[in-house]
């Protein structure tokens, strides 16, 4: 396998998962502020984290539509992981199957050579 392709794939996936962490984490902080009545500083920090999330995908080497379409699948997987470890909810088999289908879509959309 081409070393450059492998390196590109790992860097790209890292950016996708980093973006997901910032989006979910920022959204969670806003959730805590509004739903759990945490202080405004938690909400403002959430907004800042969400702004950083908006920057991360710009480092992906593709056009906006393709990046965000592929990112959607990574977001699905990351949300399930967040739910398991932060919200302490076990994903059911249908969530896992759906996430795997989404990941297949990510690899087809973003990583299949054109």
Query: Which tens digits make up the pLDDT trace of 35-90?
Result: 999 999 999 999 999 999 999 999 998 999 999 999 999 999 999 999 999 999 99
C-alpha span between 95 and 22 (Å, rounded): 22
Let me know if residue 1 belongs to a domain: no
pTM: 0.90
Q: How much of the chain exceeds pLDDT 90, in percent?
A: 88
54-68: b (≥16 Cβ within 10 Å) or e: eebbeebeeeeeebe
Let me know if residue 105 belongs to a domain: yes
Does 7 have pLDDT greater than 90?
Answer: no
8 Å CB contact between 89 and 37: no
Let me know if residue 75 belongs to a domain: yes
Residues with Cβ < 8 Å from 67, sequence gap 6 or more?
57, 60, 110
Let me know if residue 44 belongs to a domain: yes
Q: How many domains does the chain have?
A: 1
- Range(s) of the domain holding residue 107: 13-111
Let me know if residue 94 belongs to a domain: yes
How far is the CA of 27 from the CAs of 34, 43, 65, in angstroms? Answer: 11, 9, 22
The single residue listed with the structure tokens 């996936």 is 13
């Amino acid at each position: 396998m081409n070393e450059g392709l492998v390196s590109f794939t790992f860097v790209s996936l890292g950016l996708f998962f980093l973006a997901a962490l910032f989006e979910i984490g920022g959204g969670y902080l806003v959730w805590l502020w509004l739903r759990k009545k945490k202080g405004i500083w938690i909400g403002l920090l959430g907004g800042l984290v969400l702004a950083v999330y908006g920057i991360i995908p710009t480092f992906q080497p593709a056009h906006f539509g393709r990046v965000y379409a592929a990112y959607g699948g990574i977001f699905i997987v990351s949300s399930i992981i967040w739910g398991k470890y932060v919200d302490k909810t076990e994903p059911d088999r249908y969530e896992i199957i759906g996430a795997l289908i989404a990941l297949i879509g990510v690899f087809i959309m973003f990583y299949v050579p054109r």
